[in-house]
Structures are given as C-alpha cells and as structure tokens.
Structure 1
C-alpha cells in the first residue's frame, strides 16, 4: 500500500492561493475527496485561474519625450538657511550615485517667499524667515555639481524687491554656471495677490523681475507663476495677463499639483489616491494648467511641485507603496499629456511623510518607498518618446504606458488593486514583431501579513534595476525569439516594467 498523503492547512499556507496552485494537480484525487479544506483550496485556485485579462495596443507617440530633465526633485528654499550647513553632501552624493545625471533640483516652495537674500552681510529684517547667502549657494553647488543636476532657483516675489532677486540670480549663475537653467519668480502667488481685481499687478510685477534678472543674467530662463494647482482662477488669470503683456511671458509656465488634500484630513485610505474621483480631479487640473500655458504662449510647461498628498503627506500612505505607485503613474501620465517636467516635492535635510529622502534627528539619511519610484523614473528618462497604450476594454485598476527609443521599447503596467482577486493578465500588442524582451523591473510588496493595513499601505520591494537600454540594445538583442505581444501577470498593488530591444537583422 502506498504512503498516506497528509496535508495540514495553516494560516501561513492558506494565505496566498496564487503561490500554491501550480503544484496542486499532483495530489491524489482519492485523498482530496475526504479532505474538505484542500477541496476548498482547489476551489479558490480554480476561481483564480479565471482572473481578468486586459488586451491593449501600443500606439504612436503622445505628449512630450521622456528626457533627463523630465524628472526632478523639488525642495524648500529654507535648505539654504544657515549657509546651507544642514546639507550632508557626502552622504547625499552616495545616496544618489546610481542616478543618471541631468535631473532637475528645484529650490522653492513656500519658504522661497520667506527668504532674505543678501550678498553684503546685511542683517535679516524681522518680517523674513531666514537668510540665504552666496555661501548657501556654494554649499548646495557641492552637491549638484557632483551629481550633474540642473538647478531651478526660486527668488522672493512677495517682497516686491526685483533688484535683490537679480542679485541672487547673478550669484547663482556665477556659482552653478550652466547648470542653472531657470529662475523661478515666487511661489504660489495666488496666496498673496488679492483676487479682486483679478490678482492685481501680478503680471506687471513679473515683468519688472524679469527685466532686472535678465539684465543680470541675460541667458537664464524665467519660470512662473508656480501657482497652486487647485486654483484654476489664478491659473487662467495669470495666463490671460501674460497673453496681454508679452514682455512678462515666462519661458517656462509652471504650476503645482497634489493628488489629494491632506491639510484638514485626519485619516485617508491609500486607495483614495486612485479612485475615479481622484483621476477626474487630476485630469481637470492638468487640462487647465496645460491650456493656460498655451494661452500664455510660454514655450514650455512644467509641474514644478508635485506629490501624492499636500501639507507634507500622510505617513503610511505617502511614504509607502501607495506613494511609490502614485509617483510612477503621475509622471508617465503627465509626460503623455505633454508636460516637459515633473518635480516631486520633498526634502534633503529633514523628514516629512511624502519626501523620497528622510533625514532623521540623528542626521542618519534614509529613503522612503517613493525613492524607488524616483530612481526608476530617473533611469528611464533617457530620451525616449512617450507612446499611447490603449486597452480595448478598460480596467479601473490597470494603468498602461509605453516608451520608444531608437532601438528599444518599454511597457509599464501599474495595478492599483489590493485584493487577492485583483491579479490581471495584461497582453499588449507591440508596434511590430521584432522586439526581444531584455529584462524586467517590478515594485510591489512582499509583506503578506494582515496586520500592516492594505497592500498599498505596506513597505515596497523592488526586483531588478532598469537597464541602460542604449548600451544594452546597441549590440543587438541576442538569440532570443522576438515577440509581437508583451504579456504581464500583473499582481495587485504593483508596477511592472518590461524592457525590449529591437532586432534589426
């Protein structure tokens, strides 16, 4: 007589049916007939095998190309306080050493309009928050030059002192050199310009600042208005004022966007970042910003301060998998819609919930989960064109994006579902049949406990690193068979990226 097959169900081995279904057919059916727990397990496996399939097609180019300065990090101007001594240059250079050069560092935020700039050793007036000096800029330049970062420097508009702003721009050019790409005039001026009459002298003040700054640094780009993304009244008013006053039109029209409002919210579910309401709110805001930039005749449009939840974010959402997936989804969505840059707001000197970098009280530098997303975005921003990916039938949990290089292709599949039943098979028809899969990168959670909230609130793991496609594909894709359809088994709460090289033989 053969040995008796025994199986003892436990909470651990019943937790994830997907991981166990593959070997179940080897069980003796006669034994299964008397083992109710295992029969139930098989039933769950059978239902899992009928998971939904999304069919899609990768189409032509859409929006702006995904280049090195498409992605940036935004920090507060208060980083410059105290001659920038809070900056830990050596540790930060080590932290970002695997990033591509060319990323943007925007220095601004609310504190740019609280900043007292002096190059003459003047005492800070009482109505300013802190002092910034040439020594502050030199300290920051130690970091940006080693990493090859472009710099967008904010100046104080609220003070109505264009000569002082021009002096700061002059020193910034001297210190950062050609890495200084723009001067941003003010931050969220909708806060301190009266709305009746429609934002008063805003455009004429920007013109005065522009004239002074251009006299000091003729070739620097001007960025404005850096308005709050939810203030469509100011966005349209500023664009109309620029249209009527061509001398004030900025080189870069900038606005902000936050995925959810957290200032007066005590609690929020991570799923709130991906609801139909959140998607519609995003679409409405980005449409307003993009069309206002067009009305103003500004050559470029960027989202210069972006993150998942405003007012510093929410711990357990912004700094976990939800924040990382939101960052990836938002960046590709905005680039597809034509935005030239997306700068994620955070810090490199202290710790707030939505920042990719967290500096603890003991000055230890750690990273939050969105750092993994920022790294992925930076590594993929290598001059590829954004492609539209259109599903034949949409799934509210699945977001698809594509990138096309000279001889490479990338497919991004983001799944915002959270339940065990939210696995989705994604099949995408590629633009041709000569693509060979090179590798894949995925962010997801390995934490399958039930004590850490939803999947979106759990810690993020990352498998694989985005390759250097220019180098990897230059010598050809090897001997693997090309495919015409990309296939992704998209797990709940994940982003999977497939990288392809094109065969040209």
Structure 2
C-alpha cells in the first residue's frame, strides 16, 4: 500500500508516494452495522439434525468406515461412543448473506478440501501481523492509551505489532533525549511534517502498546549518519518498551539512498555495510540482546550482503514488497487494477517472490520478516484502493506469507486523514484533510488483516484443494487439538453463485462453528464487514454453528457465498 512519499519506482518493493491527495473525501462516511447472523431453525432443519444425530449414535458399520476413514495416528482422535455429542440445535446456525439481488449467479465448480493431519512445518503465531507507520508517527498524539479508537483497532488485530520506519526516518525524523530543537535542515511539507521525538513520546506509545497488548519494532535514522544518536534512541526504547521491543532496523530502504538524494550517487551496498557495522557496535553497547533487522530493502541483491556481514548481535532478514508496482502501466500484469488483484496468478507470484527471501533467510538460519508491504505501491486512488477486493487479498496474502514461513509482516499505513490521505492505508484519521481529529477508523483491507490476526494460531496443516474457482484454503492445528480451516473465496460476489464445499477433516467433528468476512462487490468501499459488523470476528466461544453441520462426521458439506473469507473451527 502507499507509503507517505517517494518518487515512483518500477520495482516490487519500492516504498510508494502518497503525498498526492486522494481526492475522495468520502472515506469517513458513516459505517452502518448489519444485523448479525440470525437464528434460523425451521422444523425441517430440526428434523434433519435429529436424523443426523441418530445416525451418529447407531453402531458403526464397515460402510460408515469407508465413507469416513479413521484419522492417522497423529490426528486428533474421534470421540468415543461414551461421550454425548452436543446437539447443534442448542446454538444458532450461521446465516450467510446471499449474493446481491439480481446477480447473474454464474455457477462455480464445487470445491473439495482435504485437510491432512500432517503439518506443513510452519506456524501462525500471535503478533505475526501488524501495521507499519512512519517514524515521525511516534510523535503523533493520536498514539496514546487514552485514544479509545486506536486501542480498539489494535485489539481487533489481537496482539499485533507496530513498526515505525518508512521514508520519514531518514529525512524528517529527529531523535533527541535532551530537548534539542528540530534542525532547520529537516524539511517536509504540510502532509509530511518533520518531527523531533523524545523519551516522553516513547512513554506515550508504550502505554498504548500495553493497553492494546501490542509489540513494536523501530528504525533509526541512517540518512543523517550518527551512530551515537541512534544508540541513544535504542537505549531509551529498550528501557521504556521493555520486552515489547522486538528489533531495531538501521535506515529505511538504503538501496534507494543514491537515487533519492539522501546520499551521494556513488553510495552503494559496501558503504551501507560499513555504516551498519558502526551503528551495530554502538547499539550493542547499550542493548546487546536486541536483534538488528535489515536490510529493509526492495532490492534482493542487498539481502545476502546483510546476512554475511559480521555484527555482534543476532540478525533478522527483512525486505519490503508491494505486489502491484507498475503505476504507469508499463508492466500490465503489475498495474493496480482489479483484474490483477483478483487473479489466480497473484497468489502464485507472491509465493515465488516471498520464497526468494525465505531461501536466503532459512539458509542462514535466521528469521525472515516483511515489515513493510501492501497491495500497491502507487500514489493516489485507483480501482483497487479502499475496496472489498483489497480485504480479500489482504487475508489471503497474510495467510500465504505465514504458511510459507514469514515470521512477521506489517501493512504500511498512515495516521493522515481518511479524506485526502493515502487510500491504501489500512487505517485513517477523522476530520478534514490535514486536520485530524484523532478518531481512527478502519478501511476494508484492515478487516482482511483482522480476520487473520484473530485466529488462535497453531501449526499449519497440509491441505489439498480442488475446484471452487478463485479460492484458496488453509488449515491449522490448534493447541487444544481443534482444527481451524480458513477458506478464502475470491469469486466475484456480484456474479458468482455460492460454492458447494466438501471438507474432509482429520477427525470426526463434535462441533463446528463459523465466522465470515463479507462484502457486496469487489469495488465496494464501505461494504466490508465481519459477522455483519464493522469490527473483528465474534469471539470463538460465541460463534454460530455451520449450517448443515454433521456431528460425528469427518466429512462436512456446506455452501459459501462468493467474495468471502470464512473461518471454521472444529472440535473432535
């Protein structure tokens, strides 16, 4: 998504320019709540449930065993006949929204999803997903524990992390622990104001992190070479943030310094590594246990030199990546248009690029993070900004990255106003352009991130999925033995009929509940909701039962509306 500034750069990881006003001030339009799923239990439904329950309680025959094969030894065991299976009639059934009235309802091939008991080898942890902000935002008074709207948004992401960096850190961010005035050489504009940040600002942000149960990673200024000042910032950050501080990065996208005028045209990776070592030594003297993450570039040729350089502290490989970067259309398949975002090739091309970074990090035995990312690097509005399609993409992208092995990823965002601010930001501020009122709200892509962030976390399980049109599937084995299945249905909600899904689980399910992200169309800019509301998912314990749930069966069948992200939880 767009960052706050920077010349267009036709490369997958470039930090984008969003200094141009959006031009669509309706970003703060009042969001109306939808009704939550209703309890729909007709006489026929009750009879069907009783019939399925009677079938479950009868003795198992060889025919039944053939229809529902026993799980492998590593799977969660099926319930014994001595246990009473709870009747789903005690809980409401989840009632999905159907396609919009008058939709053509193009048929979608049935989807078959087989969930194995075998792990992929990667895990989804809390604090995997987060938001990336500019370093100058550390000085923004909106980031306070007293700001209920900001606390609520972070809680909807359930233990996220905030990354402070962006282009501002090397150009407009001045750290001082002694109250120095902002140097006159630090310049910006009305939308990108230079800021001096001090210990009081860190303390305010630390209180927010505690209130929202969030973590943080910071970036120090390399544009103005000053290892001692950077170490002073890290010293105070370590003392104030404590164990909520995850890492420090030296500079933001140093591979672009020469082109952007931050450093002389001759500045190269060798210069960066020499300066990095000086910074690392100064930081190690005050915070020896804090990892250095880097190089934080959009040029993969800088990854291996960072891995190979000798530093006294532990390293984390970081890189930046924006999927659709061709702002002028010179690379048609990478232009920010709906046909590229909602495309089967998008999922695969993300896999290929993320795997390049993972191969380098895994070979070195270090974690790989993606602390600045988004769907598009292009400034201003285009046909994918602020849309429900971006929410579907964000959910699939987050799960795809985590399943591959990316330990953390953060979507670049802004505290500027919804009116006129960066349109691909996941959050934005209320009030007229450049006059924020401190009331933070979420855009559509935020809900896609929140849908993933609210997952319990666990080991990814191998899945095989066929059919379903434009759809992907993920599965997790949770710590309590339950299974979570996430089905991302990116079929066009204005055109596609519901998809008939057959799901084979690694055990016989006792209960099955559901939560769902929905939207009326790809282009809808204010229609994305989770469980009918503009907030995070309904708590797991309160979720409704999947319609058509079959107690005691390893095979579940149901239909899914197009343009949805569905989270299913099964106990055994």
TM-score by length of 1: 0.77
Q: Secondary structure at the match of 2:414?
A: coil
Count of residue pairs the alignment pairs up: 433
C-alpha displacement of 1:428: 2.5
CA contact (8 A) 1:226 1:256 kept: yes
Matches within 5 A, 1:413-452: 413-418=487-492, 420-421=495-496, 423-432=498-507, 434-446=508-520
Q: Secondary structure at the match of 1:342?
A: strand
CA distance in 1, matches of 2:430, 2:378: 19
C-alpha displacement of 1:70: 0.9
Deviations 1:225-251 (A, max 9, x none): 1112xx2333xxx314532x3327752
CA distance in 2, matches of 1:315, 1:337: 29
Residue 370 (1) aligns with residue 445 (2): yes
CA spacing shift, 1:63–1:274, aligned 2, 3 Å: farther
CA contact (8 A) 1:63 1:335 kept: no
Q: Secondary structure at the match of 1:102?
A: coil
CA contact (8 A) 1:455 1:493 kept: no
2:431 to 327, 340, 361: 361
C-alpha displacement of 1:109: 1.1
2:475 to 402, 412, 418: 402
CA contact (8 A) 2:134 2:166 kept: yes
Residue 225 (1) aligns with residue 295 (2): yes
Matching residue of 1:32: none
Higher percent of residues as helix:
1
CA spacing shift, 1:124–1:211, aligned 2, 3 Å: same
C-alpha displacement of 1:411: 1.1
Q: Secondary structure at the match of 1:439?
A: strand
CA contact (8 A) 1:253 1:298 kept: no
Residue 493 (1) aligns with residue 558 (2): no
Residue 304 (1) aligns with residue 371 (2): yes
CA distance in 2, matches of 1:390, 1:187: 39
Matching residue of 1:3: none
2:325 to 244, 261, 266: 261
Deviations 1:103-158 (A, max 9, x none): 21111111121222111222333443422222221222231121121110111122
CA contact (8 A) 1:260 1:278 kept: no
Residue 291 (1) aligns with residue 373 (2): no
Residue 125 (1) aligns with residue 183 (2): yes
Matching residue of 2:251: 186
2:199 to 99, 124, 134: 134
Deviations 1:29-83 (A, max 9, x none): xxxxxxxxxxxxxxxx9x96964112231132225311111111111112134xx
CA spacing shift, 1:206–1:483, aligned 2, 3 Å: farther
Higher RCO (CA 8 Å, separation ≥ 6 residues): 2
Q: What is the root-mean-square deviation in Å for CA atoms of aligned residues?
A: 3.1
CA contact (8 A) 2:398 2:449 kept: no
Matching residue of 2:401: 334
- Tell me, which stretches of 5 or more residues in structure 2 are unaligned? 1-101, 188-193, 260-264, 544-548
CA distance in 2, matches of 1:379, 1:239: 34
Deviations 1:392-445 (A, max 9, x none): x4555011111111321111111222152453222221122x223432111122
CA contact (8 A) 2:106 2:496 kept: no
Matching residue of 2:134: 76
Matching residue of 1:202: 272
CA distance in 2, matches of 1:313, 1:395: 34
CA contact (8 A) 1:414 1:490 kept: no
CA spacing shift, 1:404–1:285, aligned 2, 3 Å: same
C-alpha displacement of 1:98: 4.3
CA distance in 2, matches of 1:264, 1:57: 42
C-alpha displacement of 1:300: 1.0
CA contact (8 A) 1:430 1:485 kept: yes
TM-score by length of 2: 0.69
CA contact (8 A) 2:108 2:469 kept: no
CA distance in 1, matches of 2:156, 2:405: 24
1:85 to 135, 141, 145: 141
CA contact (8 A) 1:415 1:495 kept: yes
CA contact (8 A) 2:124 2:459 kept: yes
Matching residue of 1:57: 114
CA spacing shift, 1:350–1:184, aligned 2, 3 Å: farther
Q: Secondary structure at the match of 2:406?
A: coil
Matching residue of 1:159: 224
CA spacing shift, 1:455–1:490, aligned 2, 3 Å: farther
CA spacing shift, 1:241–1:332, aligned 2, 3 Å: closer
C-alpha displacement of 1:493: 1.6
CA spacing shift, 1:63–1:330, aligned 2, 3 Å: farther
CA contact (8 A) 1:259 1:309 kept: yes
C-alpha displacement of 1:467: 5.8
1:412 to 486, 494, 509: 486
